[in-house]
């Protein structure tokens, strides 16, 4: 059977799996996507052998052999972008050639037989936990920025799903910043913790952007891999095989110095002073005094300096601490509150940053490492 489909529907389905296709690959077949027709349903699949994703769309079958072919996706995607949303395509296969007919003309793409494309990994669909798409989107957005991008620190390149009896922690760190999101509405007691690659989660996040925000997918943990299942999409990825650091041991339990600040005012001051700071270290100094905070930066080589004062709720002795501006900016860009609280222990110890107020069932905690200067 051949099939007919709207160009926009095919383009949207293709865009979901495109992030999985590697730009460079040891195995050239992974630079293809599989188009596999079964009656009135078409599966589009991509893999880099670590992450596999497939999505489904409904089509109108036509007479002819079923379309089952692997092709390079970019030329097809670029062609589909050039059609109006309501353009209807007739899609057929002849040997290893994919043919598209539209009101504008006919187009052909060479491919390889579907049998050469890697099989989709098998995974038991039992013992899972439901995740609202809006919830997962928020978790990924708030944690992924803090994960390390250094492949030499493999354990830090993922997001850690730490399932507890009454809640789940989602954690990411690069050793300079740490984020811990606690969700009391997500529980999978007895499941081992999962260290999921950030790339897989961001590809999943991008893929479900076109779905309804109230939709839900289900996470199924497996042996060395995890499955995310949605009626229109499946993603299976290998877990990172590395031991995650004991993140809770580095979180101060009762820091004695506390300050409350307006998020937007602090963010803007930080942005202005970053322009002044030394581009190599990017040092921003904070000086807390009762009811006020002074921020300062300088670049002695360029003979530049700057200083700003902000009101803040702080009671205690003078307290000085310094950070890389990029560390503080990364945290502030992901704070979802008008105010935040800094909990400080000592100038060289990690600082806890929490949005205020928190919005249960989600609680966010950010940890920022200061500079020893």
For 134-153, write each residue's pLDDT tens digit.
999 999 999 999 999 999 99
What are the tokens at 193?
Answer: 């913790």
Give me the pLDDT at residue 127, please: 84
**372 has a pLDDT exceeding 90:** no
**333 has a pLDDT exceeding 90:** yes
For residue range 67-119, what is the model confidence (pLDDT) as tens digits? 999 999 999 999 999 999 899 999 999 999 999 999 999 999 999 999 999 99
Going from the C-alpha of 22 to that of each of 30, 48, 278, the distances in angstroms are 7, 6, 37
Going from the C-alpha of 43 to that of each of 36, 75, 145, the distances in angstroms are 5, 19, 32
DSSP conformation letters of 173-231:
E-SSEEEEEEETT---TTPPPEEEEHHHHHHHHHHGGGS-TT-EEEEEE-SSEEEEEET
**What's the number of CA atoms in the CB half-sphere (13 Å) around residue 42?**
29
Give me the pLDDT at residue 279, please: 85
Average pLDDT, the chain: 95
Contact criterion met (CB below 8 Å) for 284 and 324: yes
**280 has a pLDDT exceeding 90:** no
Tell me the three-class secondary structure of 250-267, residue by residue: HCCCCCCEEEEEEHHHHH
Give me the pLDDT at residue 208, please: 93
Q: What is the pLDDT confidence band of residue 25, given thresholds at 50, 70 and 90?
A: confident
Question: Going from the N-terminus, what domains does the chain have, and what CATH number goes with each?
Answer: 2-116 (3.10.150.10), 129-175+182-248 (3.10.150.10), 251-368 (3.10.150.10)
C-alpha torsion 35→36→37→40, nearest 10? -80
Model-level pTM greater than 0.85?
A: yes
Give me the pLDDT at residue 213, please: 85
């Amino acid at each position: 059977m051949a099939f007919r489909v709207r160009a926009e529907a095919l383009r949207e389905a293709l865009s979901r799996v495109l992030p999985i296709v590697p730009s460079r690959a040891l195995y050239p077949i992974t630079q293809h996507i599989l188009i596999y027709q079964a009656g009135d349903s078409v599966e589009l699949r991509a893999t880099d052998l670590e992450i596999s994703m497939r999505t489904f769309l409904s089509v109108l079958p036509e007479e002819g052999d079923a379309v089952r072919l692997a092709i390079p996706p970019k030329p097809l995607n670029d062609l589909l972008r050039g059609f109006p949303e309501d353009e209807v395509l007739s899609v057929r296969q002849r040997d290893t050639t994919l043919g598209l007919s539209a009101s504008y003309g006919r187009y052909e793409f060479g491919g390889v037989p579907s049998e050469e494309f890697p099989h989709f990994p098998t995974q038991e669909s039992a013992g899972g936990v439901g995740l609202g798409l809006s919830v997962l989107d928020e978790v990924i957005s708030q944690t992924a920025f803090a994960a390390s991008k250094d492949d030499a620190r493999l354990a830090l390149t993922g997001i850690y799903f730490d399932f507890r009896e009454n809640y789940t922690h989602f954690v990411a760190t690069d050793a300079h910043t740490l984020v811990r999101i606690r969700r009391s509405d997500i529980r999978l007691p007895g499941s081992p913790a999962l260290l999921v690659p950030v790339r897989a989660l961001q590809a999943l996040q991008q893929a479900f952007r076109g779905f309804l925000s109230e939709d839900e997918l289900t996470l199924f943990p497996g042996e060395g891999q995890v499955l995310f299942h949605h009626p229109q999409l499946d993603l299976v990825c290998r877990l990172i095989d590395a031991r995650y650091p004991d993140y809770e041991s580095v979180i101060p339990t009762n820091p004695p110095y506390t300050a409350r600040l307006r998020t937007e005012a602090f963010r803007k001051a930080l942005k202005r002073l970053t322009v002044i700071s030394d581009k190599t270290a990017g040092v921003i100094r904070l000086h807390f005094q009762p009811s006020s905070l002074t921020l300062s930066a300088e670049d002695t080589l360029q003979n530049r300096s700057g200083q700003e004062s902000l009101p803040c709720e702080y009671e205690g002795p003078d307290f000085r601490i310094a950070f890389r501006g990029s560390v503080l900016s990364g945290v502030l860009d992901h704070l979802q509150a008008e105010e935040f609280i800094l909990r400080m222990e000592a100038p060289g110890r990690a600082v806890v940053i929490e949005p205020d107020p928190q919005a249960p069932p989600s609680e966010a905690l950010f940890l920022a490492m200061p500079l020893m200067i």
